Amino acid sequence: MTDAAAPAQTAARSTHRTGLGFGGLAYALWGMLPLYFLLLAPSGAFEIVAWRVLFSLVFCALIITLTRTWTVLGRAFRQPRLVWTMGLAGAFIFVNWQTYVIAATTGHVVEAALGYFINPIVTVLLGVFVLREHLRRLQWVAIGISFLAVVVLAVGYGTLPWISLVLAFSFGFYGLIKKRVGPNVDAVTGLTLETAWLAPVAVVQLLVVASVSGLTFGTVSGWHTMGLLAAGVITAVPLLLFAAAARRLPLTVLGLIQFVAPVIQFLVGVFVLNEAMPLERWIGFGLVWVALIILTVDMIASGRPSRRSAIEPA
């Protein structure tokens, strides 16, 4: 090793460690979200998501103001195709957020975790049907095992695991859109556009909640109000950490650490919230984990990691 190469390698290792720190923290925060939403009781899922949208928009505006990047947002607004595309992304993430918060507040955290375990399989399927990609043999094996897992879980539940499937597919389409427009929009600008589209929906949702059961914001306690206000920070900070990690890590590494979030969600659901795990559910999860191991081995062995492999959970 030459004297000139040593500082470069040291800098590369430092960048890698920093990226791992940012990525691990982002996914750890996403994994702990169910506990955060449970702390917001007695707020219901529809009120929580509405405030999450509105306060995320406010937080993004504050970041843009502090970083003096309103011109960047202005340039984005002058691209109609980008604006409409982010509106579509916002629709998918709204479905994802709403489903996830409903799951977290109604005792279905384990089923929500399953959705994010399934998500990499869904992104592979989207690559076939949307991007016309060709799958390798091991990828087909992983998809087949995942399909068997869904069948086993459906038999165990007595119905399809709808929460898992809605989360996996809504986030799969959201991730596909975000990856397609990724080079054209940064994390803060993208989230600002998405939440700007969703803000009217959130206002209508709050009006409906107010007329049906009444709003809890500002009526329970100071801590509860602060918790709802912090929903914007809780949404935006992991996204910014993820963006920082993505700039520093190879996609292969980012794709591997994405499983931190659903693992934490699974552990929270089983060991903290004591959700039931009958035998058929263990078998179903086991099959999904086998499929993910096969998919990961294939990804590493091929040397061509999927550009959609890294996820940003709810």
pLDDT in tens, 208-233: 999 999 999 999 999 999 999 999 99
Residue 18 confidence (pLDDT) = 86
Calculate what percentage of the chain has a pLDDT beyond 70.
91
Helices then strands, each counted (H, E), the chain: 14, 0
Q: What is the pLDDT of residue 308?
A: 47
Residues 225, 228, 233, 238, CA torsion sign: positive
Q: Does residue 177 surpass a pLDDT of 70? A: yes
Are 268 and 35 spatial neighbours (Cβ–Cβ below 8 Å)? Answer: yes
DSSP reduced 3-state for 205: helix
Average pLDDT in the chain: 87
Distances (CA, A) of 57 to 12, 97, 157, 200, 263: 35, 15, 38, 12, 29
Q: In the predicted model, what is the mean pLDDT of residues 278-295? A: 90
| 243 has pLDDT over 80 | no
pLDDT at 226: 95
pTM for the whole structure: 0.87
The dihedral through the CA atoms of 152, 153, 157, 163 has a sign that is negative
Confidence check: pLDDT of 24 > 50: yes
Q: How far is Cα 275 from Cα 268, in angstroms, rounded to an integer?
A: 9
Contacts 24+ apart (CB under 8 A), 66-70: 67/188, 69/188, 69/189
Residue pLDDT, tens place only, 118-157? 888 888 888 777 777 777 888 888 889 988 988 888 888 7
What is the identity of the amino acid at 121?
A: I
Give yes or no for a contact between 177 and 92, defined as CB atoms under 8 angstroms apart. Answer: yes
Confidence of residue 4 (pLDDT cuts 50, 70, 90): low
* Whether pLDDT at 199 is above 50: yes
pLDDT exceeds cutoff 90 at 181: no
List the chain domain ranges. 14-302
